[in-house]
Amino acid sequence: MDRLLRFFYEYKAFFIFFFLELICAWLIVRNNQYQSASYFNSSNRLVANIVGFSNGVREYFSLRDINKELADENAILKTKLEQRTQSLYSLEVREIKDAAIINRYEYVSAKVVNNTTSLFKNFITINKGKDEGIGPGMAVISSKGAVGKVKSVSDHYSVLISLLNIDEQVSSVIKRTLNFGTVQWDGSDARFANLLYIPRHVKPMAGDTVVTSGYNAIFPPGVLVGIIREVKLKEEAPFYELKVELAQDFTKLAFVEIVKSNLKSEMDSLELNTIGEPK
């Protein structure tokens, strides 16, 4: 401790000079528009480079998982294509000619550039925005399942409300029983959410698949949300306590797809004209 104090005492002139230089630089940046703009542009560029390098390292170590997800998704799509091809030969298929129905949903792929998972209200930033036709309220999915919805957009970026957000609710259905409920995160475990409002007369089971209901015209119906892992029913309770393991591990989220629902505005307009503004 004595040596440290002696060191500062011996070089006090240098430290005072350095401190005064910092104050002068701060005053120049604070009171001159050109220097201020140059400083903040340089600092933003440095921060952007550091964040970009960090994201690059993280994506590099995630390539194996990403490739596996793509391979699994391709296998599923090929299976569905084969099943559909076979059904064309064995079943009478009703032709749908309405282009609006055929093209009800459009998908835009995007890269995740920021993602939080440790807060009560988590958000995700992606590298697509208004220039790609993305707007607030659009659903977001991944190759694994439901992710969230768009909250706000700029020209080149969008911020999403993650399913790991205590304010986010997703209308869902138990695939086996066809009973509807709401999936909502309780802020505790990033791998699990709760399925609410399933009445006691239903018989849910651990292992049941939970998918989106399609009731809100945002998410397409049948998007995987998760798997029921715990089933509890308290005495005289009107609803089950169901814990759902989310299909998407948000700590490994790298790419998403934004779902454009081309019929949502028509549905919203009809409901508004029929029911009126909600009170």
Question: SS3 string of the chain?
Answer: CHHHHHHHHHCHHHHHHHHHHHHHHHHHHHHCHHHHHHHHHHHHHHHHHHHHHHHHHHHHHCHHHHHHHHHHHHHHHHHHHHHHHHHHHHCCCCCCCCHHHHCCEEEEEEEEEEECCCCCEEEEEECCCHHHCCCCCCEEECCCCEEEEEEEECCCCEEEEEEEECCCEEEEEECCCCCEEEEECCCCCCCEEEEECCECCCCCCCCCEEEECCCCCCCCCCCEEEEEEEEECCCCCCECEEEEEECCCHHHCCEEEEEEECCHHHHHHHHHHHHCCCC
Structure confidence at residue 262 (pLDDT): 73
Q: Cβ(158)–Cβ(108) under 8 Å? A: no
Indicate the range of 20-29, 173-182, 212-221 predicted with least confidence.
20-29
Q: Which amino acid is at 22?
A: L
Residue 73: per-residue pLDDT: 67
Partners of 17 in beta bridges: none
Q: What percent of the chain stands above pLDDT 70?
A: 72
What are the angstrom distances between the C-alpha of 226 and each of 9, 163, 164, 210, 265? 64, 11, 13, 5, 28
Q: What is the mean pLDDT of residues 140-167?
A: 93
pLDDT higher than threshold 60 for residue 246: yes
CB atoms within 10 A of CB 193: 28
**Mean pLDDT value of segment 49-54:** 71
What structural domains does the chain harbor?
2-61 (no CATH), 98-279 (2.40.10.340)
Q: What is the pTM of this model?
A: 0.65
How confident is residue 210, by pLDDT bands cut at 50, 70 and 90? Answer: very high
Average pLDDT over residues 46-57: 70
Query: Under a CB-based contact definition with an 8 Å cutoff, are residues 122 and 185 in contact?
Result: no
| Rounded Cα–Cα distance for residues 225 and 196 (Å) | 13
Task: Find out whether 39 and 29 touch, Cβ atoms under 8 Å.
Answer: yes
pLDDT tens-digit map of 63-72:
767 766 775 6
Residue with tokens 């703009």: 37
CA distance 261 to 21: 57
> Is the pLDDT score of 16 beyond 70?
yes
What's residue 90's pLDDT? 44
Mean pLDDT of 3-11: 76
Lowest mean pLDDT among 81-95, 99-113, 263-277: 81-95
